[in-house]
Amino acid sequence: MSTLIRHGKVADDHWQWIEGDVPRVVERLEAGEHLVLPLAVWSAHRARLDPLRASVWLGPDDVPETLLPWLAGIPLVAIHFPVFTDGRGYSVAHLLRRRHGYTGELRAVGDVLVDQLALMAQCGIDSFRLRADQPPAAALAALAGGLRSPWPGSVVP
């Protein structure tokens, strides 16, 4: 099982990661589930979604500007790193924080390694769903140097 590091601490995660199209998305949200939906699914259901329970994840080929009209109301944007060598997620995080002023939670998910956390934080990512084989203690140690992100709302103590 993977571990969530949020704001420099191991944290519980009430968000459920959804891949692909899911039947009954709106019904699941109405039942109290918190879902992180792929951009295509989020976009298809956006008008009917409760913004407190529905968030979005972006893949490396997704265009973050698609979210701009609604960005301020999205509590969590997850950025999927399909393999640790794919650096496009760093650019997406940087664009969302610097160019578009996103102040919500930015989460790295997928093939997230301890060695990447400092650079991810510098790009504005403030929570990390570690790959299952990555030790949480090593992640906390990697972030323990008082690293501060330059983006408002993103501080990794």
- Tens-digit pLDDT profile for residues 110-154: 999 998 998 899 899 999 999 999 999 989 988 876 444 444 444
The CATH number for 131's domain is: 3.40.50
How many domains in the chain?
A: 1
Return the pLDDT at 21: 63
pTM value is 0.85
Q: What is the mean pLDDT of residues 93-104?
A: 94
| d(C-alpha 47, C-alpha 73), whole Å | 13
Asked, for residue 156, whether it belongs to a domain, the answer is no
| Structural domain containing residue 75 | 4-143
> Minimal CA–CA distance to 157: which of 134, 140, 138?
140
Strand order in the sheet with 9-11: 9-11, 4-6, 127-129, 105-110, 76-81, 54-58, 34-38, 15-17
User: Which one has a higher pLDDT value, 107 or 32?
Assistant: 107
